[in-house]
Amino acid sequence: MRRTLIKSITAVGAAALLTLATACSNEREGSSGSDSAGGKGFSKGSLIGVALPAKTSENWVLAGDLFTNGLKDAGFKADVQYAGASTTVADQQAQISSMVTKGAKVIVIGATDASQLATQVKQAKDEGATVIAYDRLITNTPDVDYYIAFDNFKVGELQGQALIDGMKAKKPKGPWTIELFSGSPDDNNSKVFFEGAMKVLKPLIDKGDIVVGSGQKDIKQTATQGWKAENAQQRMDSLLTSAYSGKKTLDGVLSPNDTLARAILTSVKGAGKPVPVVTGQDSEVESVKSIMAGVQYSTINKDTRKLVAETVNMIKSLQKGDKPTVNDTKSYNNGDKVVPAYLLPPVIVTKKNAAEAYANDPKLAPLTK
């Protein structure tokens, strides 16, 4: 029908129609998989809930402050909550329910346990709120509208590649001996980071160029419950005792984030072993210092300021009744549906590019001088 119409109108009219058609198809793309979100809009000054997990890394601490200020500056009322350190799941469930009861129009959730929020997000949807999964996906529920995060699979790939590069720089010829660590099993990201890293590492492991000293290659064996430093340190202690006695050395450790990287390095130091190449993530202050001192090898820059700003933009679109922009409609199947996602690019940081990577970060730039 569109063709017949175009034939019968002038060139100017055709151009206008084309613009309209493009706008419509863009809108369709933006809305795919999220029929329930957007559309009606809501009044400015509405309440927005932000439920964050426990403060297991600096990025979460920063996110809370940025949401409080960013939402206020955008004219919303903000209710920003963290799950407590021990009763994380129950805390977060109660916080989300309370946000729904208070009439929040959008609820942004950094899940403490991906699979334990189905009841609360259903409650949110039933009351007409839009649910945005922030940084961590919420699984096994149709009631999550959008996902916003840095590209987690890419994070893993960058970590795997950094591990290889770092080991090659120290010892040009393999085989290299490594250990693998992954994050908390209740965080959907842990699996994605690990899979990204293994995509890069597995071919070398299969060839025998990389050897996992302990033989522990399964994600279950490598997990770090609660993303807790003490759990990573304990596991590293016991790996060193069981698989690295005498002069046996360790060339590298895949660590999924900075908190765990520092715990692993503490353990290796305590055992009197040479410092291996250790990866990380989050650009935490102590890790950036360690990288500049030549101890930790790498981290990942996921600028929390950008992630929060983009989330606030999503909320502004929803307020106006527009569909928020997404750029990935295939990667994040949560077990129930593919959640439309807006993904930002992560950046690998080593001593070499730290000054450049943090040039616009007033907190980190001075550390690289």
C-beta closer to ligand BGC: residue 29 or 286: 286
Of 79, 91, 113, 135, the one binding ligand BGC by CB under 6 A: 135
Least distance from C-beta 2 to ligand BGC, angstroms? Answer: 44
Shortest Cβ 195–ligand BGC spacing (Å): 14
Out of 176, 181, 227, 358, point to the residue binding ligand BGC (CB under 6 A).
227
CB of 246 to ligand BGC, least distance (A): 34
State which of positions 16-75 bind ligand BGC (CB under 6 A).
Answer: 56-57, 59-60
Can you tell me which of 105, 125, 136, 154 binds ligand BGC, judged by CB under 6 A? 136
* Residue 156-185 contact track with ligand BGC, rule CB under 6 A, x = bound: ---------------------------x--
Least Å from the CB of residue 274 to ligand BGC? 26
CA angle 30/137/232 to nearest 5° reads 150
Compare residues 93 and 189 and give the one whose CB is closer to ligand BGC: 189
- Site size toward ligand BGC (CB under 6 A) is 13
Q: Is 19 exposed, middle or buried (0-12, 13-18, 19+ CB in 10 A)?
A: exposed
Contact between 222 and ligand BGC (CB under 6 A)? no
Binding mask 287-326 for ligand BGC (x = CB under 6 A): ----------------------------------------
For residue 160, the minimal CB distance to ligand BGC (Å) is 16
- Contact status: 189 vs ligand BGC (CB under 6 A): yes
Q: Tell the smallest beta-carbon distance from residue 322 to ligand BGC (Å).
A: 27
Closest CA to 84 of 54, 114, 124: 54
Nearest Cα to Cα of residue 104 among 35, 38, 50, 41: 50
Contact 354, 291 (CB under 8 A): yes
Q: How far is the CB of 174 from ligand BGC (least distance, A)?
A: 29
Residue 63 or 277: which CB sits closer to ligand BGC?
63
Binds ligand BGC (CB under 6 A): choice among 141, 257, 279, 287: 257
Pick between residue 157 and residue 251 the one whose CB is nearest to ligand BGC. Answer: 157
Residue 282 in the binding site for ligand BGC (CB under 6 A): yes
Q: Measured between alpha carbons, how far is 202 from 207 in angstroms, rounded to an integer?
A: 8
Confirm if 287 and 299 have CB atoms less than 8 A apart: yes
Number of C-beta neighbours around residue 186 at 10 A:
21
Closest approach of Cβ 54 to ligand BGC, in Å?
8
Min dist. Cβ of residue 59 to ligand BGC (A): 5
Read off the amino acid at residue 160: G
Residues that bind ligand BGC (CB under 6 A): 56-57, 59-60, 135-136, 183, 187, 189, 227, 257, 281-282
